[in-house]
A and B are shown apart, each in its own frame.
Chain A
Amino acid sequence: MIFAAPWLLLALAALPLLWWLLRVTPPSPRLQSFPAIRLLAGLRADEHTASRTPWWLLALRLLAAGLVIIGLAGPVLDAAGALPGSGPLLLVIDDGWAAAADWTARMQAAGSVLDRAERTGRTAALLTTARTEADQAPQLSPAMAVPDLRTRLAALRPKAWAPDRVAATAALKGASAGAVAYVSDGASAAGDTAFGQALAALGPTTQMQPDPLPVRLARPPRAEAGRLVARVSALPQPAERPLAVLAQTGDGRTLARVDAVIPAGATAAEVPIPLPPELRNQLARLVLDGGAGAGSVVLLDERWRRRPVGLLAAQEGADTPLIGPLFYVRRALALTSELREGNLAALLSRELSVLVLADLPLEGEDAAALERWVEAGGLLVRFAGPRMAEASSDPSWHDPLLPVRLLAGDRQLGGALSWSQPAALARFPAASPFTGLDIPEEVLVTRQVLAEPSAQLAERSWALLADGTPLVTAAPRGAGRVVLFHVTANADWSNLPLSGLFVDMLRRLVDLSAGVAGAPEDTVLAPAEALDGFGVLGPPPPAARGLTAADLVTPVVSPRHPPGTYGPESGRRALNLGAALPELTAAAPVPGAALAPISGMARERALGPGLLAVAVGLLALDLLLSLWLRGLLRLRAATVSMLLLVAMPAWAEDVPALATRLAYVVTGDAQVDGVSRAGLLGLSAYVNRRTAASLADPSAIVPGQDDLSFYPLLYWPVTANATLSPTAITALNDYTSRGGIILIDTRDGGSGAGFAPGAEAALRRVAQGLAVPPLTPLSSDHVLARSFYLLQEFPGRFAGDTVWVQRDQDRSNDSVSPVIIGGHDWAAAWAVDGAGRNPYATIPGGTRQRTLAYRFGVNLVMYALTGNYKGDQVHVPAILERLGQ
């Protein structure tokens, strides 16, 4: 600890004088009203002792005076040692993309270095290593007084591109410095070694960088069937690091959050993000949670979204309802993809992700053009049929765009003249993209073309019939792929196109394909939006220039081409930092430099203001005590009011019995519990706004530990690892037997199928001990559907699943169903974040769905609060009819 103005401490010598003065000055007398004052006149005390200020009051005042003196002397805590050397200080700061994650700490470290320079009266110069937004090379500022430099430091922002250490080395030429402080980002860049040597040559160097280095870089994701795989690079570290990837839409809503871990020593991690195609098409960016900066954001453009699918059939009338070869394909893909039709030349003249050929043998020119297209990355999906079977009978026929060689003719299964039966599907092989899809039992194949047996046949088969013959085969061809369905695309050969499985299979195939971004290679794309150093999209900086689509193949990020989106509204292309940077490696330290961690550079803390505040507090106490000594302060009243003041917050505590409130069962998963809480908060606010019910903030409860009797409704999101202790089972059964309602949510129903794997099994497990009555689907004439709003459906975040309630009416509890079971993830639909927005998108989506979700919540609360009161409304028509008679 040091003092800014040590000579002020001399005033401490005056304290004894103060002590003497206070001691000889008697305290003010107590004031006492007294009617018989006339009798006091003329009375003289027989002994007259001088009144003394009590010693403790004296000590208090001396302490306050001492604190004032010490506080004014300006003590400074945590003052680091003096900087080495003498002469001007050179402060070098890496302000490239990698510095953004801990920018505040860096600025604090730089500020603390400047503090130390200022104390010894040294001047300082500043050098930042990245090019400016105006694309100027790094320049060394002249040495100036520290306060002037602080304003420059305050204006510094991290840039969205890598530092240019070669130019920085050039800027150092001819500079001189007494000491160098280098706040480095730790990631290597071109010209590192020369830069380090240039710094070391200037003078004693202190290199400050965080330990461990938090640098992470989000790379462009990879599209796979049914999911998007985010890729993250990081500098290797000896410990594993948690990581979360947020998938966000253009308006900032987070559609998915996936947690992952970067293993110890690893430099990269892959994070699969499972999302239905409808949602995936809404994604605008992937963001690494918790790390600000341009490196944490990957912008997604049409390449990850738009999947144009071309449809081509041999004959006319391919669209004839129910029998046309493309009818079912069109129906399956129309919702999720952009479909195009025309002849082959027209189709291939534009960008295309997938081309579906229905029973069209290929020859000559067309085959060559298609082959080029497939090898450039296209996905060709072909269906067999009578023409292909016929063509394969010709021994000279050779179709280059088939994944396997076909045997001549086709094979008939079942029928009047055959012993065999139509074949069902076998389980999908593990390597198949269709793995995980449910196979309906009624899907049967009656005719197919057969593949010629070969060594590769097994690995090229993506779907097999029960007898082991392939149904779908695929083979890579260049950067693309060829897929063959061994049946027709209509219901002639099998009833596969009639089933939902067909839709799922086609969608997965489309997901496999590469997206396209349609713009000619040589068009100049103007910058539309650019990421700043903190990873926030904004208008592009003045130096930003357009680039061509060809430039995006091997992108370079610089002030001229900042990361962001380029091109017209209809065809935005994303330029990502992660696509432009090479593998991340740690930079070599500056030779001979003293290393210091950034976090260790605690900002100097001046104790003066704190001490003065304490002194003011003591003087206020002295005032109170003096008043009390003079009898002007009623001690008891003062104590009571102080106690009241202190006790006030205790009253504001949540007492469950004092207000009606909803409650949710704590699952132990912080994410789920957070959603439950936010959801019930949102629902409570909605109910308070719309109805006469007044709900307080929801409670989190653990059955068996908390008293459940105060809550009309429990919300219980069942997680895959949910378990119930015997006491919890007893508590919940007790709760429901006395009229409580539990809303059990598996969060995987309807459109959200697959979002919460294992929840159904968990529900089956935990419900074994619970007294769940016989259930029936919730219909629109149940009281729950009309207790406040008249509802036909009961969606939450998801929609389309059945909600189950008690089948039999139990008069003992007002006919209220003790459990309501569903999977619509209602809490996520109700959830409201701190800014009042709904953070979780509804699926399939729309304002209407959210409104209905809230309405279901209101009905639920009303049902819990009023029982079957509204049940009479069910009988209103009957009652009216009876009255009419």
Chain B
Amino acid sequence: MPGNPASLPGQNARRAEPLGSRLPPLLVAAQRVAATVAQGVHGRRRVGQGDSFWQYRPHLPGDSQSRIDWRASGKSDRAFVRETEWEAAQSVFLWRDNSASMAWRSGTAVPEKRERADLLLLALGALLLRGGERVRLLGGPPRLRGGRAALDGLADALADLPKSGGMPEAAPVPRYSSVVLIGDFLSPLDEIRAVVAGLAALPVAGHLLQVLDPAEALLPYTGRVRFRGMKQELDAVVPRVEGIRNGYAEALAEQQRGLSALCSTAGWSFGVHRTDHPPEAALLGLFIAMSPA
């Protein structure tokens, strides 16, 4: 698999250095995660792009003479036209929350949420590209790309992603394509529902993966703490964090139930991933959800 940033086409010198330092390990990790998942899912057969033979059919009036397969025609008196399998590659739109709250981690033992989301997104992208799908980053350059070289372009686009809000903005997503949204989805449910419903109405199949830090899941703090949000929210002073831990767990579960409900309404799948858990499990879940039943 191409993982060498020096081979990237259209790479300018300014970006080369930070990319070179950041992307290869990420790509390698993504490939490694994807490889373990690919081995776990068998039986998926996809036709190669325009290479596979499909059938011969008799030459009909109106067919161009150049389409006649002379080798097959030579065996009999009739002229045959060779037809290849119709390619039906799916377009998958990937999106990763690039808001400030993603650039956070509770300690040095776990990666930042954004880092984990990148890893998952690239690993999924690698799997999809390996399967022949076309992949595009929502909010990235507006061109669907296929082939293995597209993974580098994907990583490239991911690094250049502009700051965004908590949900994807309206993008020209074609009908019957797939959307994978990865983020922390901590914003109000109504905002999320509006976006999901809008996409589902196209219709577009979708998958939601909530990436959470263990501290966000467990609220491990004690004593008197002034909490400060990452997106200009007001500070919240909690006199005794132990006292609200159960209430917080309830609120988080409520948010996740709401997310799950609005996903199932739209026919989408919903998953939760904690950054202290291995990424393979989440990737496998996503991949299975995307595989045709």
Contact between A38 and B224 (Cβ–Cβ < 8 Å)? Answer: no
Closest to B240 in A: A45
Closest to B247 in A: A43
Residues in A with CB closer than 8 Å to B240 are 45, 47-49, 51
Starting from the known contacts A29-B225, A35-B101, 10 additional A-B residue pairs (CB-CB under 8 Å) come to A30-B225, A32-B221, A34-B215, A34-B216, A34-B228, A35-B213, A36-B101, A37-B227, A49-B240, A50-B239
Contact between B228 and A32 (Cβ–Cβ < 8 Å)? Answer: yes
List CB contacts (< 8 Å) of A571-600 with chain B.
none
On whether A36 and B244 interact (CB within 8 A), knowing A30-B226, A45-B238, A48-B239, the answer reads no
Residue of A29, A36, A48 touching B237 (CB-CB under 8 A) = A29
Say whether B230 faces chain A, with CB atoms less than 8 Å apart.
yes
Question: How far, in whole Å, are A31 and B227 apart by their CA atoms in the complex?
Answer: 6
On whether A39 and B248 interact (CB within 8 A), knowing A45-B238, A46-B243, A51-B224, the answer reads yes
Residue of B221, B243, B255 touching A45 (CB-CB under 8 A) = B243
Residues in A with CB closer than 8 Å to B230 are 33-35, 37
Contact between B238 and A36 (Cβ–Cβ < 8 Å)? Answer: no
Say whether B251 faces chain A, with CB atoms less than 8 Å apart.
yes
Say whether A27 faces chain B, with CB atoms less than 8 Å apart.
yes
Question: How far, in whole Å, are A48 and B230 apart by their CA atoms in the complex?
Answer: 27
Closest to A37 in B: B229
Residues in A with CB closer than 8 Å to B255 are 39
Residues in A with CB closer than 8 Å to B215 are 34
Contact between B244 and A30 (Cβ–Cβ < 8 Å)? Answer: no
Residues in A with CB closer than 8 Å to B226 are 28-32
Question: How far, in whole Å, are A41 and B233 apart by their CA atoms in the complex?
Answer: 10
Contact between A33 and B248 (Cβ–Cβ < 8 Å)? Answer: no
List CB contacts (< 8 Å) of A7-52 with chain B.
26-41, 43-51
Contact between B184 and A35 (Cβ–Cβ < 8 Å)? Answer: yes
Contact between A35 and B104 (Cβ–Cβ < 8 Å)? Answer: yes
Contact between B252 and A36 (Cβ–Cβ < 8 Å)? Answer: yes
Residues in A with CB closer than 8 Å to B188 are 38
- Min CB distance A48 to B, Å, is 6
Residues in A with CB closer than 8 Å to B101 are 35-36
Closest to A39 in B: B251
Residue of A33, A35, A37, A45 touching B239 (CB-CB under 8 A) = A45
- Min CB distance B115 to A, Å, is 14
Closest to B228 in A: A33
Question: How far, in whole Å, are A50 and B225 apart by their CA atoms in the complex?
Answer: 13
Contact between B244 and A44 (Cβ–Cβ < 8 Å)? Answer: yes
Residue of A28, A43, A50 touching B251 (CB-CB under 8 A) = A43
Contact between A38 and B229 (Cβ–Cβ < 8 Å)? Answer: yes
Question: How far, in whole Å, are A38 and B225 apart by their CA atoms in the complex?
Answer: 15
Residues in A with CB closer than 8 Å to B236 are 37, 40-41
Residues in B with CB closer than 8 Å to A37 are 227-230, 233, 236
Closest to B237 in A: A29
Say whether B264 faces chain A, with CB atoms less than 8 Å apart.
no
- Min CB distance B16 to A, Å, is 32
Closest to A47 in B: B243
- Min CB distance B231 to A, Å, is 8
Question: How far, in whole Å, are A27 and B239 apart by their CA atoms in the complex?
Answer: 11
- Min CB distance B36 to A, Å, is 29
List CB contacts (< 8 Å) of B184-235 with chain A.
184, 186-188, 213, 215-216, 221, 223-230, 233
Of B223, B226, B230, most buried by chain A (CB within 10 Å of CB) is B226
Q: For this complex, into which size category does the number of interface residues on chain B fall? A: 35 or more
CB-based closest 5 A-B pairs: A45-B243, A35-B101, A37-B229, A29-B226, A29-B224
Residues in A with CB closer than 8 Å to B186 are 35-36, 38-39
Residues in B with CB closer than 8 Å to A27 are 224
Residues in B with CB closer than 8 Å to A47 are 240, 243
- Min CB distance A20 to B, Å, is 20
Residues in B with CB closer than 8 Å to A26 are 224
Contact between A35 and B229 (Cβ–Cβ < 8 Å)? Answer: yes
Residues in B with CB closer than 8 Å to A38 are 186-188, 229, 233
Closest to A31 in B: B226
In the complex, 22 of the A-B residue pairs with CB atoms within 8 angstroms, ordered by the A residue number, are A27-B224, A29-B224, A29-B225, A29-B237, A29-B238, A30-B221, A30-B224, A31-B226, A31-B228, A32-B227, A33-B227, A33-B229, A34-B216, A34-B227, A35-B101, A37-B228, A38-B229, A40-B238, A40-B251, A47-B243, A48-B243, A50-B239
Contact between B244 and A43 (Cβ–Cβ < 8 Å)? Answer: yes
Quick one: CB contact mask for A619-656 with B, threshold 8 Å, 1 for yes?
A: 00000000000010000000000000000000000000
Residues in B with CB closer than 8 Å to A29 are 223-226, 237-238
Quick one: CB contact mask for A46-86 with B, threshold 8 Å, 1 for yes?
A: 11111100000000000000000000000000000000000
Closest to B215 in A: A34
Contact between B244 and A40 (Cβ–Cβ < 8 Å)? Answer: yes
Question: How far, in whole Å, are A39 and B228 apart by their CA atoms in the complex?
Answer: 12
List CB contacts (< 8 Å) of A283-320 with chain B.
none
On whether A40 and B227 interact (CB within 8 A), knowing A29-B237, A33-B104, A49-B240, the answer reads yes
Residues in B with CB closer than 8 Å to A30 are 221, 223-226
- Min CB distance A451 to B, Å, is 106
On whether A40 and B224 interact (CB within 8 A), knowing A33-B104, A35-B216, A35-B229, the answer reads no
Question: How far, in whole Å, are A48 and B186 apart by their CA atoms in the complex?
Answer: 27
Of B246, B251, B252, most buried by chain A (CB within 10 Å of CB) is B251
Closest to A30 in B: B225
On whether A43 and B221 interact (CB within 8 A), knowing A35-B229, A36-B216, A48-B240, the answer reads no
Residue of B184, B223, B246, B248 touching A40 (CB-CB under 8 A) = B248
Residues in B with CB closer than 8 Å to A49 are 239-240
Contact between B238 and A51 (Cβ–Cβ < 8 Å)? Answer: no
Residues in B with CB closer than 8 Å to A40 are 227, 236, 238, 244, 248, 251
- Min CB distance B43 to A, Å, is 40
Quick one: CB contact mask for A262-288 with B, threshold 8 Å, 1 for yes?
A: 000000000000000000000000000
- Min CB distance B55 to A, Å, is 56
List CB contacts (< 8 Å) of A543-558 with chain B.
none
Residues in B with CB closer than 8 Å to A31 are 225-226, 228
Of A27, A34, A43, A51, most buried by chain B (CB within 10 Å of CB) is A34
Contact between B225 and A32 (Cβ–Cβ < 8 Å)? Answer: yes
- Min CB distance B255 to A, Å, is 7
Residues in B with CB closer than 8 Å to A50 are 239
- Min CB distance A57 to B, Å, is 14
Residues in A with CB closer than 8 Å to B213 are 35
Contact between B184 and A51 (Cβ–Cβ < 8 Å)? Answer: no
- Min CB distance B168 to A, Å, is 18
Quick one: CB contact mask for B156-179 with A, threshold 8 Å, 1 for yes?
A: 000000000000000000000000
Of B187, B188, B243, most buried by chain A (CB within 10 Å of CB) is B243
Residues in A with CB closer than 8 Å to B252 are 36, 39
- Min CB distance B254 to A, Å, is 9
- Min CB distance B250 to A, Å, is 9
List CB contacts (< 8 Å) of B98-145 with chain A.
101-102, 104, 113
Question: How far, in whole Å, are A508 and B4 apart by their CA atoms in the complex?
Answer: 94
Closest to A46 in B: B243
Closest to B216 in A: A36
Residues in A with CB closer than 8 Å to B102 are 35
Residues in B with CB closer than 8 Å to A51 are 223-224, 239-240
Closest to B231 in A: A35
Of A32, A35, A41, most buried by chain B (CB within 10 Å of CB) is A35
Question: How far, in whole Å, are A852 and B184 apart by their CA atoms in the complex?
Answer: 81
Question: How far, in whole Å, are A823 and B237 apart by their CA atoms in the complex?
Answer: 84
Question: How far, in whole Å, are A39 and B184 apart by their CA atoms in the complex?
Answer: 13
Question: How far, in whole Å, are A323 and B290 apart by their CA atoms in the complex?
Answer: 129
- Min CB distance A23 to B, Å, is 15
Closest to A27 in B: B224
Question: How far, in whole Å, are A45 and B240 apart by their CA atoms in the complex?
Answer: 7
List CB contacts (< 8 Å) of A840-880 with chain B.
none
- Min CB distance A405 to B, Å, is 111
Residues in B with CB closer than 8 Å to A48 are 239-240, 243
Question: How far, in whole Å, are A45 and B239 apart by their CA atoms in the complex?
Answer: 8
Residues in B with CB closer than 8 Å to A631 are 225
